[in-house]
Amino acid sequence: MFGDDCSDILTIDFCRTPLSEIRSIYQKIRECDGLDKSKTVTALRAGEDRAMLLGLSMVFVSVMMYFVLGITILRSYSDRSRKRILYTLHAVFFLLHKNNSNNVTSVYTVRLESTLVCKCVCSWSNATSNSAVWPRLEYDVDEGHDWDIFNINEAAGLDLLEGDIEQEETFSRNSIIGDKYRWPTTIPYYLEDSVDMNAKGVILKAFDQYRLKTCIDFTPWNGEKNYISVFKGSGCFSSVGNQHEGKQRLSIGNNCDRLGTVEHEFLHALGFWHEQSRADRDDYVTIMWDRIEPGKQHNFKTYDDKVSSALGVPYDYGSVMHYSKTSFNIGSEPTIVTKIPHFLDVIGQRMGFSANDLTKLNRLYNCTKSSAFVDSCDFEEKNICGMIQGLGNTKWEQRSSVSGGPHDDFSNMGQCKGKGFFMHFSTATAEPGEGAFLESRWLYPKPGAQCLQFALHNTGAADDVLNIFVREYDEAVPGGKLGLFKSISGGVMGSWELHNVNLNVTQKARVVFQGVRGKGPSKGGFSLDDINLSSTKCPQHVWHIRNITGLMATTPAGQKRYSPRFLSSAGYSFQVGAYLNGRSDRPGYVGLYFHLTSGPNDHSLKWPCPWQQATMALMDQHSDIRQQTNMHRMVTTDPDKLDGKEYYWDDPRKVGSKVTEADGSYYYRGPGTGTSTFITHSRLRSRQFIKGDDAFFLLSLEDISHLLVPQPLPRSAAHAGTSARKAADQDAPQGAATSPTQIMAVALSAAAAVFVVSALILGSARRMRMRRQQGSEDLVTLEDMPGFMEGMSRVSDLLFTLRSPQPWPSSNLKFESWKAPWQLVVSQTVDAYRAKTELIKSEQIDHFYECGTREKLKPERERLSPDHRLLESLITKDAVDFKALRRCIWVVCFMLGVN
């Protein structure tokens, strides 16, 4: 199992392996580790001395350079060839769990730089006894936090200009004025492979928003000189404006995969600073300097109006570029107080562009029209947006009320006096079989998919029909050719309903509505309002929630309402669950979760469900699609994601729970993924998310597996590397053979290179020596793997409050992609173990094994700091199996111990 060459992979199953055997394995690990380490230390020390001497002599004797270079190459070669030990420990624990579906699999990697690589896999069960408090069948992508960009970056340990701007402080802050920082209106982009799948889908959706609402378009990089390269950094950040540096990077890291956040970062790249940095901001907000975290005050600077333009737009509290009220605060008090109190809860929205954001962007880039918007009509004007009526006596009428309903229009819900019109076709007055056309003006959409969205109030008889055609014009048919896209039957609905119809127009066309009277008696007809046509794909489904304010008043916190089940175009059945009054631990929010459900096609579908992206959008019911700021959230099914021993996105019949409906029929509902902090109630009441007491969720489930393939590099870029190398190969000998000047140049370059190399070697040798003299230990990098703290949001909330103002004890742990609370748990546990190591060095192995059990910890508890004790008490309270976590961390302790 663990060979003499210390290079094997070691697997220990804690449940089955006898204690004595585990001990002997650990003893072996220690020997191997010690062996390897002693070799390393000797090698390093010799190397340092040699490097120091050689480095020094190189500076004076250039002849030595090849020797030193040779040594360096040899050393790096020997470093690489040195055997690395890979420990893989499988610890499986089942504690107090009520059912097996409570298992959580977590993986993390412990990497001891330069000497060891250790991977620890722990799966354990969460021992919660109250599933109402912590529903296990849900996964919160935000871990229960309502984190803004700045919290994400702070937790990732980033200290950027204004929190998310990657630019030198000395960089002139006025530079958005002038053409040179602008991009062309079509911006080349490259999605690096590091970007998460869900984030890739979100970014492409954000581009659609730019196309719909501005003249900015994005195109895959095709060798253009300057382009935006999106990568997964440790947070969300960008630089401001076109920096003309060729590849300009923009990071969409963990938790940045939200539409508003991506729009925000791209607005930086397009040339925008934060809204509260405007020169006139002190007229609108008060900065509470004493509440700002020490050292973060610089994030609240303003820019001079002589050089940074507000583009003639008033201060915008609703800008997606505005800080939130609690940015960079200590405690919970706001750092930004708006002069008009109403706006205190408005600032910091990350739903999407505000109207003023769009005005500014369109002014900066001289936009006159957007590429994806085609037409919008709310029928308020007498000219009904240039729509025309067909021949015949029966007509559509512009009305503000109809006796058979509706009594109000959809745009204004009758709230505006003298306004509030819609178009009505009365099947009550038309003769049976009679119809009427309502045709749009000539429209010129981009060829491809278009979405026709409209509100329909349907009070006709059951056999009345509303047909939706497109009349396309080309040279062959100058009078236009009608193509039917959808027919909607009559029937009294009693409310305005939202309809989305996918069109496929390739040339000049009209959109045509035809109302047709059936044979049955009718008291009403068809009413149309708020028509929007855009060159985008339609959302697949609409979940209409009626009487939402009433439901919010009566639904208790923690109770979830489910949408009907829908089918995706690939055939997957799904539904969405909403906590209208928040989860019990998140009052004041709407929580929203996506579930796969059993459906008619399951036998022929791929399981676990691969790479389907669910888009859940709460619709802002503004009449003009360009002014709609929908609140989006997207989640993607990763077929490799594990939940215990099961695949998380497997067939709901396997991993879901049975749901029995009122009529006795049943289906299976898979676990939910979403967020407990989808939107606050105060934001839900803003804009037009609720209109006439109704809310609409726009839902889609789309295949994004094509994004698994890396974005192809442009031919020029792919060949650039090769040709550069070829050129160098060809140039060097020719130059050396022909020109004395070139010989000189080559000699000078070589000398310069030698100097740099020697300086580097000297520097690194010096650093190595200093580190050893200080007695510091090797750096341990703890890398969080996806799913590690899955489902542990409640504990993380509690622990989050533990973040003490005093600095942590100096630690040589480095955390990669961990959330701050978990850094805390791990570093505290490691610190505690490290303290023990010093106490019981001689019994290291036994001690570490035993320290996984609580009893052995007791005598030591008095020695722990109050924070440690609080941590212990939290562990007890939550009954979460922290032992598993401790045993995993044990690996780190063990290494630190033998270090």
CA–CA dist 240, 238 (Å, integer): 7
Smallest distance from Zn ion to CB 164, Å: 4
Q: Tell me whether residue 164 or residue 380 sits nearer to Zn ion (CB atom).
A: 164
Query: Sign (positive/negative) of CA torsion 585, 590, 593, 597?
Result: positive
Residue carrying structure tokens 């690589």:
117
Which of 138, 140, 164, 464: binder of Zn ion (CB under 5 A)?
164
CB nearer to Zn ion: pick between 348 and 821: 348
Window contacting Zn ion (CB under 5 A); options: 75-83, 156-164, 223-231, 456-464: 156-164
Provide the phi-psi class of 76: left if phi over 0, else alpha when psi is between -120 and 50, else beta: alpha
Q: Which stretch binds Zn ion (CB under 5 A): 160-168, 463-471, 759-767, 832-840?
A: 160-168
Stretch touching Zn ion by CB under 5 A, among 164-172, 190-198, 249-257, 385-393 = 164-172
What residue type is assigned to position 621 of the chain?
Answer: Q
Q: How many residues bind Zn ion (CB under 5 A)?
A: 1
Query: Is 850 within 8 Å of 840 (Cβ atoms)?
Result: no
CB of 556 to Zn ion, least distance (A): 37
713 DSSP assignment? P
How big is the CA angle at 377 (ends 698 and 695), to the nearest 5 degrees? 30
274 is in an annotated binding site: yes
User: Taking phi first (over 0 means left), then psi (-120 to 50 degrees means alpha), and beta for anything else, what does residue 420 get?
Assistant: left
Here the tokens at position 65 are 């350079």
CA neighbours closer than 13 Å in the CB half-sphere of residue 202: 31
Q: Cα-flanking dihedrals φ and ψ of residue 285, to 5°?
A: -135, 155
Token pair 């929203």 is found at 592
Give the closest residue to 598 by CA, choosing from 666, 667, 664, 658. Answer: 667
With respect to Zn ion, which residue has the nearer C-beta, 232 or 517? 232
x/- mask, Zn ion, residues 209-228, rule CB under 5 A, reads --------------------
Closer CB to Zn ion, 175 or 412, in the complex: 175
Q: Given the rule CB under 5 A, which of 157-165, 523-531, 567-575, 721-729 is the region that contacts Zn ion? A: 157-165
Instruction: Using alpha carbons only, give the angle 755, 758, 759 rounded to the nearest 5 degrees.
Output: 85
Quick one: 164 or 702, whose CB is closer to Zn ion? 164
Stretch that binds Zn ion, among 159-167, 510-518, 618-626, 688-696 (CB under 5 A): 159-167
End-to-end Cα spacing for the chain: 24
Which residue is nearest to Zn ion, using beta carbons?
Answer: 164
Nearer to Zn ion (CB atom), residue 336 or residue 619 = 336
Residue 357 CA, chain-centre distance (Å), reads 21
Distance CA 148, CA 273 (A): 17
Judged by beta carbon, residue 8 or residue 293, the one nearer Zn ion is: 293
Beta pairing class for 481-489 and 465-472: antiparallel
C-beta separation of 674 from 519 below 8 A: no
Question: Residue type at 368?
Answer: T
Q: Minimal distance in Å, beta carbon 150 to Zn ion?
A: 8
Rounded-to-integer distance, Cα 106 and Cα 101, Å:
14
Minimum Å distance from CB 278 to Zn ion? 14
CB-based contact 111:117 (threshold 8 Å): yes
When the beta carbons of 164 and 694 are compared against Zn ion, the nearer one is 164
Which region, judged by CB under 5 A, interacts with Zn ion, from 158-166, 525-533, 632-640, 775-783? 158-166
Give whichever of 252 and 851 is closer to Zn ion, judged by the CB atom. Answer: 252
Please indicate whether residue 265 is annotated as part of the active site. yes
CA distance 374 to 362: 17
Minimum distance from CB of 646 to Zn ion (Å)? 40
> Least distance to Zn ion from the beta carbon of 597, Å?
38
Q: Which of 143, 265, 275, 380 is catalytic?
A: 265
β strands within 174-306, DSSP E? 186-191, 217-220, 227-231, 236-237, 247-252, 285-287
Task: Pick between residue 164 and residue 357 the one whose CB is nearest to Zn ion.
Answer: 164
- Bond prior to 608 in cis (omega within 30° of 0): yes
HSE value, Cβ hemisphere, 13 Å, CA-based, for 337: 12
DSSP 510-550: EEEEEEE--SS--S-EEEEEEEEEESSPPPSEEEEE-SHHH
Q: Give me the least distance between CB of 239 and Zn ion, in Å please.
A: 11
For Zn ion, which is the closer residue by CB, 47 or 348? 348
Give min distance, CB of 274 to Zn ion, in A: 6
Is residue 148 part of the contact set for Zn ion (CB under 5 A)? no
Q: Which of residues 812-851 bind Zn ion (CB under 5 A)?
A: none
Please give the Cα distance from 572 to 704 (Å, whole number): 14
**Nearest approach, Cβ of residue 397 and Zn ion (Å):** 49
Residue 369 CA to residue 359 CA, distance in Å, equals: 12
Rounded distance between C-alpha atoms, residue 108 and residue 787, angstroms? 9
HSE-CB of 819 using CA atoms within 13 angstroms: 23
Q: Which of residues 429-488 bind Zn ion (CB under 5 A)?
A: none
Q: How far is the CB of 165 from Zn ion (least distance, A)?
A: 6
Residue 154 binds Zn ion, judged by CB under 5 A: no
Q: What share of the chain is helix, strand, coil (3-state, %, to 5)?
A: 35, 25, 40
Longest dimension (CA), the chain: 106
322 is in an annotated binding site: no
Any binding-site annotation on 342? no
The DSSP symbol for 179 reads G
Element spanning 697, H or E: strand 695-703
Q: Smallest distance, Å, CB 325 to Zn ion?
A: 15
Q: How far, CA to CA in Å, does 505 sit from each of 453, 487, 535, 625? A: 15, 18, 9, 19
Bridge partner list, 135: none
Bind-site residues: 264, 268, 274
- Could you list the residues that contact Zn ion (CB under 5 A)? 164
Residues annotated as part of the active site: 265
Bind-site residues for Zn(2+): 264, 268, 274
